[in-house]
Structure 1
Amino acid sequence: MRHVIDGVRYNVEKAGDGFPVILLHGFTGDSTTWDPFFEKWGQHSRLYAVDIIGHGKTDSPEDAGRYRMLSVCDDLFLLLEKLGIPKADIIGYSMGGRLALSFALKYPTKVRKIVLESTSPGLRSEEERKARVEQDCKLSSFIREEGIEAFVEYWGNIPLFQTQEKLPPTIQAQLKEQRLRNSSIGLSLSLEGMGTGAQPSWWDNLSELHHEVLLITGSSDQKFCNIAAEMAKELKNVSWENIDGCGHAIHVEDSEKFGTIVSRFLSST
């Protein structure tokens, strides 16, 4: 399904029946990230897998302002209005998790439960944010100058995804093929607008969330385990699952365990 939100065509894949759940993929991903979970989660939830702006089949406009985190939150709010969804659970992975958290803080009445997989609330200090913005702008320029193929080759080999080397070659090939379906302009502007440095820092706002929150990390992803530990101290209604032997993308590296944990959380009262 395509829905036009303020001039941008958003692609949304729908499945299942029950309480609505919004699914938000990570940077370089798309709605197909969630395909392996449609059957299981669809037994108790009505799933809406969104291609975030600049990704998948959603438009990649050249207006950099459309990619700012709070602007994308506004798009998501309007999308829920257009879909007739008064309140939803929201699941986000990495960049999608930062979007989910941002959305829940800006539009708290639209959210019931939140699942954050390998997610950061942003960076605490101005110095950290400035350094990260510079780093992401360099990477953005690399995408534009070298093209999508060179970037995907680089991105798939960064230390964050080192644990994915143990995945079957067919899965690794599928991940690469999916990343290549994105556009250079979309990924470039996503980095500039929705990067960890560019987004607002939510550390001081975590205590405002009264929703049920499930944090999921992989034990081999020490950076995000540390972040989750700090987040758990601030959130009022939180549970944390740390999956042994997994890295950043638990939904890929142990999809069965990930799917079961999320299903249990969503269907619990």
Structure 2
Amino acid sequence: MSADTEKLHTVVHDGNGPPALIVHGALGSRSYWNDNVAALAEVCQPVVIELWGHGRSPSPADTNRYRPSGYVAEFERIRCELGTSQVWVIGQSMGAAWVLHYVLANPERVIDAVLTNDTEEGRFQRLLPTVRLIPGVEIADVPASHAVNAQDPAGWNSATTSFMRHHRSGTSRTH
């Protein structure tokens, strides 16, 4: 397979609002978000993405595809295929790091970001101060609710959808 045919597996759900790229963490899959998709669909169009080598996504031989720039390029490809100028980004653990890299590379393409299970991941925290300085991009850090930490799915859903409702509607803005 070539880079032209190897693509991250995505599941595009119906929803009310702009698309949200939703990215799980290491050793996970799209199933992490099963308890969240219906609630998210009330405020956005959930687009659940599986990382390279996870779930139904291929494992490219080109190791550059696994670097931040490789994920940024894939997320941008997905945004373009969705035909939208801006997306929400939601990331869990390592997925939070990948969406932060996307925000840094394409702030004009991001409505806002929701991060979950990222505070314990110190190696990813170095990105947050820089991202927080980007004008017009807000970040919500919401405690996790996933298959590996399903303590309060309803609480996570409520906090996340409330943040999304009370922030940008997905209209273009200048940075």
Q: TM-score, normalised by structure 2?
A: 0.81
Which region of structure 1 is more displaced relative to structure 2, 69-78 or 21-30?
A: 69-78
Q: CA deviation at 1:207?
A: 4.2
* Percent identity of equivalent pairs: 20
Counterpart residue number, 1:255: 153
Partner of 1:205: 130
What is the CA-CA distance between 1:85 and the residue it aligns to? 2.1
Distance 1:33 1:54 in 2: 16
Which range moves more in the overlay, 7-16 or 75-84?
7-16
Q: Call closer, same or farther: CA 1:38–1:73 in 2, change over 3 Å.
A: same
SS of 2:8's equivalent in the other structure is strand
CA distance in 1 between partners of 2:36 and 2:129 (Å): 33
* Shift, 1:203, TM fit: 5.4
For structure 1, the residue ranges without an aligned partner over 5 or more in a row are 124-195, 219-245
Letter in 1 for 2:151: E
- Aligned length in residues: 163
Contact 1:5/1:78 (<8 A) preserved: no
Q: 1:44 to 1:29 in 2, by over 3 A?
A: same
Q: Deviations over 1:86-108 (max 9, x none)?
A: 10111100000001111101110
Q: Could you list the runs of 5+ residues in structure 2 that have no partner in the other structure? A: 168-175
Report the alpha carbon displacement of residue 120 of structure 1 after superposing the two structures with TM. Answer: 5.6
Q: Distance in 2 between matches of 1:265 and 1:16?
A: 20
The one of 159, 163, 175 equivalent to 1:265 is: 163
Cα distance change, pair 5–90 in 1 and its aligned pair in 2 (3 A): farther
Cα deviation, residue 39, structure 1: 1.6
Instruction: Assess if the C-alpha contact under 8 Å between 1:16 and 1:39 holds in 2.
Output: no
Tell me the secondary structure at the aligned position of residue 59 of structure 2: coil
Cα-to-partner distance string for 1:128-159 (whole Å, 9 max, x where unaligned) = xxxxxxxxxxxxxxxxxxxxxxxxxxxxxxxx
**8 A contact 2:21–2:46 mirrored in 1:** yes
Aligned-residue Cα RMSD (Å) equals 2.6
Q: Distance in 2 between matches of 1:112 and 1:70?
A: 20
Is 1:84 matched up with 2:10? no
**Are the structure 2 counterparts of residues 255 and 62 from structure 1 closer, same or farther at C-alpha, using a change threshold of 3 Å?**
same
